[in-house]
Amino acid sequence: MKPKLLSSVGSQHARRVRVLIHELDIDIDIEEVMFGAQGFGGDDRQGFLKLNPNGKVPVLQHHGVVLWESNTIMGYLADLHGETELWPRDPLERAQVSMWQVWQAAHLTPAADGLFYENRVKPMFLQQETDTAEVARLEGSFRRWMGVLESRLESSETLALGRFTCADISVASALMHAESSRMPLAEHPVVDAWLQRVQQRPSWLATEPPAMPG
């Protein structure tokens, strides 16, 4: 039985799973989840909440089990696939990869998603004004985490193990909306150059969403 991914094409969190699926050529069903007045799930919001009580994408279903949290889904799919350099089996190597994934979810994403919400979602989709004080706070936080990335990437082409891994996929996808959300990325040329390298990969190009309005 194939796993099934519930995804949304514009989601940075679903993107990291879809990039991995492409990198490993995983045989999986991918279903687009509708966004309705109540959020993801469209007309069946309650049904979607039964799968993921957080109401978020991505969600994975396999053998009657439901998984959410994109990095967990990535790890599961990579393990299911078998041996891969993207998600090493050696405990110390794996820890170096997952460290960046936890960092992405704990530190980078709150700042990056906050800027996406304030600078992009509110004015474009909710017809609400951006909260400039909140943007200033989020930019401060974003710059702090960019400093961490910059110093890492000054001494290494990739985030972990000197090669492309799930660490790069997870962190790069968190920056998917950097340009449209006016994240101050240009101040960090080493990070920008690394991101451009990731964005040239076939897996990234194949998972590019259609252009959003504005």
Q: Catalog residues that contact ligand GSH under the rule CB under 6 A.
A: 11-13, 39-40, 55-58, 69-70, 105
- For ligand GSH, the closer CB: 55 or 209: 55
What tokens were used for 21? Answer: 């699926």
In this structure, are residues 110 and 183 in contact, taking their beta carbons and an 8 Å threshold?
no
In terms of residues, how long is the chain? 214
- For ligand GSH, the closer CB: 12 or 203: 12
- For ligand GSH, the closer CB: 69 or 93: 69
Ramachandran quadrant class, 208 (left: phi over 0; alpha: psi -120 to 50; beta: rest): beta
Least distance from ligand GSH to the Cβ atom of residue 69, Å: 5
Least distance from ligand GSH to the Cβ atom of residue 75, Å: 12
- For ligand GSH, the closer CB: 91 or 210: 210
In this structure, are residues 194 and 146 in contact, taking their beta carbons and an 8 Å threshold?
no
Helix, coil or strand: residue 39: strand
Distance CA 204, CA 137 (A): 30
Task: Please give the torsion angle defined by the CA atoms of residues 54, 57, 62 and 64, in that order, rounded to the nearest 10 degrees.
Answer: 30
In this structure, are residues 193 and 146 in contact, taking their beta carbons and an 8 Å threshold?
no
- For ligand GSH, the closer CB: 11 or 203: 11
Least distance from ligand GSH to the Cβ atom of residue 56, Å: 3
In 3D space, the residue among 23, 4, 10, 7 whose CA is nearest the CA of residue 165 turns out to be: 23
Least distance from ligand GSH to the Cβ atom of residue 106, Å: 10
Residue nearest to ligand GSH (CB): 56
- For ligand GSH, the closer CB: 70 or 203: 70
Least distance from ligand GSH to the Cβ atom of residue 47, Å: 15
Helix, coil or strand: residue 61: strand
Least distance from ligand GSH to the Cβ atom of residue 190, Å: 25
